[in-house]
Amino acid sequence: MTTVRGVGALRFAAPTVLAVLAIASPAAAAAPGFLGTGHDPGVAVDAAGTAHVAWLAEAAGGAGTLEYCQVPRGKRRCTVRTSVPLEDDGFGKVQVMLPAPGTVQIVAPLLQSTPLLTSVDGGATFARRDLGEGPAIEAAFYDAGGAISIMSGSGPARYGRYAPDGTGPAGLPVEFGDALESLDTTLAPFGSGLVALFSGAATRSVIFSGTSDPNLQQSWVEGPRLGKGRTDPTAAGGRSGTYVAYVQRRNGRHDTYVRRLRSSARFGTARRVSREDPTDLALAEGPRGNLALVYPASDDAWIVRSRDGRRWTGPRRLFRGHEPADLRIVLGRRGGWMVWDGDAGNAGSNPIRIAALPGPPRR
């Protein structure tokens, strides 16, 4: 393995109430921070509330770098910054994981290989191990079995599971659907297992129960469908259960809904949380079971929150402008973070920005 050194109480109510909130919600006081340039940032948050952010950037001669930085709670600038040379610029969403205090792991999706970069000194240096081919990574996290689950969005969507040290299959061995069913993909914990959703003409799901080897195709079974006209799925799982947010488009209307995936592998009641027409959805669940859904609409960033998934606040504007697109969010014990590059593509040199997310709403 190679070592690289760094450089240095409104609750969900009637639609009429939501409409008033969408107009009247004030902008957040703190403007977003600027971290650097590149694309496809990922973010994790530690127990102290510090954001750990990483993104891909171009370098001379067709090479690239993995940029890593830490932003303490209440700040908007990097206090720790590390740059890791890579052989190319990459294609996909960077994933950041914090499996233990002082340990940082980053999945960097490149065109020819997928490195797992591990730091045991708080991000000062990183060691590399290649996971094999797996471009266009959409999700990576530690699952209930203590291993790293990874899903790609490159048609077709694929899945693979790896040990914490990166040992595992040479690439992502499980294939979901076909290329036309992989326009939007998402992966989340579901009890002791996992659920993957992917959309094309309709949004489908597949479920891993947690009782066999998830690297085998037969370990995944067909789950419930959201159906036609329901797109842009994003899922999150944790203490309060597993939830899916999506946009329903029909009869000229664009509404955003959240539904819980019950233990019976059926979707619960659909709760409408917004009447906006979002261009992106980002859903996260915190360690205490609180949830947040962030989405851009009319060049503003909006948020709806819940303490436990049962009742949701009305939409609140986080800030105006700053091109909120290609969002990634994470929640901690008292609040969270949002990062983005302003471009829905998987390349380029774009401003990498960060904004703080509020904590869960009061009861």
Provide the mean pLDDT of the chain: 88
67-85: string of b/e by CB count within 10 Å (b at 16+)? Answer: bbbbbeeeebebebbbbbe
Q: CA nearest 95: which of 11, 153, 181, 49?
A: 153
User: Which pLDDT band holds residue 228 (cuts at 50, 70, 90)?
Assistant: confident
Provide mean pLDDT across the span 169-191.
83
Buried b (16+ CB within 10 A) or exposed e, 270-288: bbebbebebbbbbbbbbeb
Residue 23 in this model has a pLDDT that exceeds 70: no
Name the amino acid, one letter, at 302: W
The pLDDT, as a whole number, for residue 5 is 41
Q: Residue range 186-215: average pLDDT?
A: 92
Sign of CA dihedral 80, 92, 284, 292: positive
Whose tokens are 């999506």? That residue is 246
State CA 351 to chain mean position distance.
18
**Token digits for 210?**
């947690």
Contact 223, 176 (CB under 8 A): no
Give the mean model confidence (pLDDT) for residues 343-347.
76
Q: By C-alpha distance, which of 239, 311, 304, 236 is closest to 271?
A: 311
Whether residue 27 has pLDDT greater than 70: no
Model confidence band, residue 103 (pLDDT cutoffs 50, 70, 90) = very high
- Burial group, residue 104, by CB count within 10 angstroms (0-12, 13-18, 19+): buried
This prediction has a pTM of 0.90
Share of residues in the chain with pLDDT > 70 (%): 89
Which of 21-35, 275-289, 337-351 is least confident? Answer: 21-35
pLDDT in tens, 104-128: 999 999 878 899 999 999 999 999 9
Q: What is the mean pLDDT of the segment spanning 198-206?
A: 82
CB 262 within 8 A of CB 256: no
pLDDT score, position 361: 82
Which domains occur in the chain, in start order? 3-8+13-357 (2.130.10.10)
Distance CA 297, CA 262 (A): 30
Please report the pLDDT score of residue 363 as a whole number.
67
